[in-house]
């Protein structure tokens, strides 16, 4: 049986053990909790200048690990240069035919849109859990589990505009 609600999918297999079902339900509860947390936040405007992902991350993380989009972009590119874990996906992604060197050179430039690779790198740089609320109501979580993360950053992504904003608590 498969059930979907607000982007959360529960698949129940007839052979699923009680422990597996409880783990699946726990994951759904965590996702629902994150969804509700995002609903209680206010969007912080970020200019649509090609640096929105970097600026949104900085605003949502209150300046950690870098204080400017340029500094964060440089740290992200440096991190990606020293990590080969993501290059498998780069080679398989037909939209990034240029290869790793060209991708990194392009990403060094100001006003080049960040992507999932850069967002993952931001998460790894600060040991930060990144929660992204999409306009369709789905939630994407990158980085370590809440208990292992040094912080959690909440972002909003508008896929129509290809634009990131920061989300901030109302209190």
Q: Identify the segments of the chain with pLDDT beneath 50.
A: 1-8, 10, 92, 95-97
pTM of the model: 0.75
Q: Any idea where the domains of the chain sit in the sequence?
A: 1-39, 43-169
Tally of helices (H runs) and strands (E runs) in the chain: 6, 7
pLDDT for residue 170: 60
pLDDT value for 12 = 55
Give the pLDDT confidence score for residue 90 in this predicted structure: 63
Query: Rounded distance, CA 55 to CA 61, Å?
Result: 10
User: May I ask the CATH class of domain 43-169?
Assistant: alpha beta
């Amino acid at each position: 049986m498969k059930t979907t609600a607000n982007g959360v999918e529960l698949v129940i297999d007839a052979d699923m053990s009680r422990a597996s079902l409880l783990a699946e339900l726990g994951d759904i509860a965590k996702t629902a909790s994150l969804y509700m947390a995002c609903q209680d936040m206010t969007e912080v405007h970020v200019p649509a200048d090609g640096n929105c992902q970097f600026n949104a991350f900085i605003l949502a993380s209150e300046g950690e690990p870098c204080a400017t989009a340029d500094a964060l972009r440089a740290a992200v590119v440096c991190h990606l240069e020293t990590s080969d874990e993501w290059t498998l996906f780069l080679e398989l992604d037909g939209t990034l035919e240029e290869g790793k060197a060209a991708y990194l050179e392009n990403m060094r430039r100001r006003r080049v849109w960040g992507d999932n690779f850069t967002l993952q790198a931001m998460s790894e740089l600060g040991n930060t859990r990144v929660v992204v609320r999409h306009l369709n109501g789905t939630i994407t979580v990158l980085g370590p589990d809440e208990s292992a993360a040094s912080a959690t950053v909440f972002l909003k992504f508008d896929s129509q505009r290809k634009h990131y904003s920061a989300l901030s608590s109302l209190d």
